[in-house]
Amino acid sequence: MFTSIAYAAGNAGGAAQSGPMGAFASLVPLLLMFAVFYFLLIRPQQKRNKEHKAMIESLGKGSYIITSSGFLGRIVDLEGDILVVDLGETKVRMPRGFVNGTYDPKALNKTADAAPAENK
């Protein structure tokens, strides 16, 4: 009785491949998935990191920045990797890594002036 079950669970007419080609064929979907993840997720993130690093290195006195917490300010002093940022009535010290981007205050003022006109 058990032998018939073993034969039924065994190789049914040679449908399963064996040898090195069978092992390679089972790896092809995994390699394709890795390639898709690399080109859709990993590579774009590396590009964004490279652009962010270049932006941080280009910061200088007078640059207008957006911090990671959302504050808008102007760099008034550099102390190595520490920035002194003017946030209006106060100055704060923060590491360069907490800068998310830069902005143009003139463009920001134009959009702020245009917004109330649209509501009228």
- The partner residues of 20 in beta bridges, in order of sequence, read none
Residue in 105, 107, 63 with CA at minimum distance from that of residue 84: 63
d(CA 53, CA 96): 10
Mean of all residue pLDDT scores within the chain: 84
d(CA 91, CA 112): 24
The residue with greater pLDDT, 31 or 10, is 31
Radius of gyration of the chain, Cα coordinates, nearest whole angstrom: 29
In sign, the C-alpha dihedral spanning 44, 45, 50, 55 is: positive
* Per-residue confidence (pLDDT) for residue 24, from 0 to 100: 79
The residue with greater pLDDT, 102 or 118, is 102
Between strands 99-102 and 91-95, the pairing is unpaired
**Percentage of residues in the chain having pLDDT higher than 70:** 75
* Per-residue confidence (pLDDT) for residue 106, from 0 to 100: 87
Residue in 87, 106, 96, 84 with CA at minimum distance from that of residue 55: 96
H or E element that contains 103: none
pLDDT at 76 over 80: yes
pLDDT in tens, 49-71: 999 999 999 999 999 999 999 99
Range in 5-9, 96-100, 101-105 the model is least confident about: 5-9
